[in-house]
Structure 1
Amino acid sequence: MYELNVEKVNLNRERDVKEVKKFLEKFELDLDKDVDYTVVIRVDDEIKATCSKSKSVFKCFAVDDDLRGEGVSAKLLNALNDKLFDEGKYHSFIFTKPKNVEIFSGLGYKLIEKGEKVALLENGIYNINSKLDKIMKEYNLDEIKNRAALVMNCNPFTLGHLYLIEKAASENEEVLVFIVEENKSLFPVEDRYNLVKKGCEHLKNVKVIKGTEYIISSATFPSYFLRKKDDILSAYTTLDATIFGKYFAKKFNIKKRYVGSEPYCEVTNAYNKTLKDILPGFDVEVVEVERKTEKDSAISASRVRELIKNDSITEFNELIPKVTIDFLNSEKGKEIVENIKNSNSAH
């Protein structure tokens, strides 16, 4: 029996980070760039186990074979949960390999979904079902109406987004617009949510809802925010699409999911393809709508941000609804505009 002590890693020290990375390589893992807290267990000054967190998502978990059965997983999770409690957070996700599901299930975590390469579990003061029950009540949704859904980031809200929502509204009894809640965009979630809500006030059968951590979040779909295609992109997109079909579509009686065609972003393009592959299995039709264009170019939020960055006011005003124009002229909007202009990129 080893004497096992959990140590915090200094993520600002390159040598320490490299040491964790080298250990993870043995398990075909990497230390993700977004981790904000990492712990390790050493034996004779050598790393034998590690786990990290990014906000409330636990990942990059690995334990050497010679420490199996020593209660190492529990020690690592306790250390990360203690950190979360210090931050005032009482719910966590574990993003891990499917072979580890049994380990974490034995420690009180509940499986949300798993695929061939990744699994997502959760534990805390709520779960996905109680979260959806809360949405049902908060937005006064019945279980009878057939619904369509859209999932949008709206960074910022454009005429392209409005066109897609209006089309869905004209073709369905009720439409739910889920706004990506993850705050990794230049426009904060509260502003994105309010812009869409105000911009859709004329559509009486549309309800705008914050998407929760279960839709396109760091837990379900980290590649969406990394904006790059990698070896496990299909695993991430499949996980996110399956969670939507299994939980959201079933709970809210969603029969259609609308998406815009994607001429620019490889990640979103791959995501749309996965939705088409996965959602019909949950009795959800994926409706892909050709993007609205302006001067022969598809309207996109990234195009708007690029025009803002280049100070092309007349051009980007042609791509956004009045509600977004008014916001950009507000004090808060002007701050965001300056942030975009001063950023290294417009993403």
Structure 2
Amino acid sequence: MSDYMEETGDPFTGKKKEELKKFLEYMGLTYDEQITHSIVLRKEKEIIATASCQKNIIKCVAVSEAYQGQNLLAHLMTSLIEYFYGMGISHFFGFTKPQNKELFCSMGMYPVAQTEKILLLENDKNGLEKFLKRLKKETQEQQKCKVENRHENGIGAVVMNCNPFTRGHEYLIREAAKKNKWLHIFILSEEQSFLTTRERYQLVKEGIQEIPNVILHQTSEYMISPAVFPTYFIKEKAKAYEMNCQLDIQLFGECIAPELKITDRYVGSEPVCDVTHTYNQCLREQLPCYQIRFHEIPRKTYGDQIISASEVRKKYAENQLKSVCGMLPESTWRYLERKKNENGK
């Protein structure tokens, strides 16, 4: 590799970022603004290859056609893997076009799920199997100290961010729990601003203690948050989000639901956020293909206002948390008050 110079950015900014964006555009890709780390290889100041990641998700990998077949991809992947291990990341994923499958597999990646337009890979050959075993073990352990709803036969599921856990989330869970023998609650594990994954999980756990037939899980990367859906290699940007929804729903319908015998999935109605509304529509259309019933529950209101976690975050930032106290269960309210005081807000 003596002919090439390697540069890294966490991420790149300014002129170097613009150069990377232009190279990716030339290669038919779009720079992903959520990137946290990038590697570029240059020859005589020109970018000839690149790879990036968003935390533990590999994105925006490209090698100039004139330099393909020279093991540049192997060099990029080795550098990325060294970066992951240096950051304490041992499990990582990649999204790409299905036609790149052989190339990525030759670099030690293993397919997880594939649609016509998108391929999801990971570096652990048995990663998905381990995740499904974990879900089953969590289910069996929690059922020992829970009580099933003997009046119903279905097994329900809800997937939530809960950033933070509100009375709207609580209402959706209670309504779904009434209609099922058991209800699985999946808390998206992607780290977000405001509350950490651990904080969100704990607030949900405290908020649902009185509901006897619920089972709580963290999702791992096999249940994908809309925030990390890749679009950088999809030319039809208007349809990109729907394509990613298809991948997420396929993983749920083919792998997760059968393992837990899930028959029904519940969402809250979404009158505000277009992204969530689109995802709900995809669920409505595609879940029946996997013999899973879809249910949309009207959002709970506080006075004449729809209960919204984003509104709670906004009022917290403005030091007006008391104005939305009615949107929060007691346990969430107490935690946010304590957090605010500790931060000196």
User: TM-score, with normalisation over the residues of structure 1?
Assistant: 0.87
Alignment of 1:71-150 (within 5 A): 71-124=71-124, 127-140=127-140, 146-150=154-158
Question: CA, structure 1 residues 193+333, in 2 after alignment: closer, same or farther (shift >3 Å)?
Answer: farther
The answer to whether the 8 Å contact 2:312/2:321 transfers is no
Q: Distance in 2 between matches of 1:132 and 1:157?
A: 25
Please state whether the residue corresponding to 2:95 is helix, strand or coil.
strand
Percent identity over the alignment is 36
Q: Distance in 2 between matches of 1:293 and 1:337?
A: 30
After TM superposition, give the deviation of residue 288 of structure 1 in Å: 0.5
The question of 1:276 aligning with 2:291 is answered no
The question of 1:304 aligning with 2:312 is answered yes
| Counterpart code for 1:9 | T
The answer to whether the 8 Å contact 2:5/2:43 transfers is no
The answer to whether the 8 Å contact 2:157/2:184 transfers is yes
After TM superposition, give the deviation of residue 273 of structure 1 in Å: 0.8
The question of 1:329 aligning with 2:337 is answered yes
Please state whether the residue corresponding to 1:318 is helix, strand or coil.
helix
The answer to whether the 8 Å contact 1:180/1:212 transfers is yes
The question of 1:286 aligning with 2:286 is answered no
Please state whether the residue corresponding to 1:268 is helix, strand or coil.
helix
1:32 corresponds to: 32
Residues 232-277 of structure 1 show CA distances to partners (whole Å, capped at 9, x for unaligned) of 2122222222222122112111111100000111110011111112
| Counterpart code for 1:18 | E
Residues 284-318 of structure 1 show CA distances to partners (whole Å, capped at 9, x for unaligned) of 11110111112222211112223334444443111
Q: Distance in 1 between matches of 2:276 and 2:310?
A: 12
Q: Distance in 2 between matches of 1:184 and 1:198?
A: 20
Question: CA, structure 1 residues 48+219, in 2 after alignment: closer, same or farther (shift >3 Å)?
Answer: farther
Q: Distance in 1 between matches of 2:12 and 2:68?
A: 30
Q: Distance in 2 between matches of 1:254 and 1:220?
A: 25
* Unaligned stretches of 5+ residues in structure 2: 144-152, 232-236
Q: Distance in 1 between matches of 2:227 and 2:170?
A: 28
Count of matched residue pairs? 329
Residues 25-69 of structure 1 show CA distances to partners (whole Å, capped at 9, x for unaligned) of 012212222222212223343222111112111110111222222
Alignment of 1:40-59 (within 5 A): 40-59=40-59
1:211 corresponds to: 219
Alignment of 1:111-260 (within 5 A): 111-124=111-124, 127-140=127-140, 146-217=154-225, 221=229, 232-260=240-268
* Unaligned stretches of 5+ residues in structure 1: 224-228, 339-347
After TM superposition, give the deviation of residue 122 of structure 1 in Å: 0.5
2:8 corresponds to: 9
Q: Distance in 2 between matches of 1:48 and 1:12?
A: 16
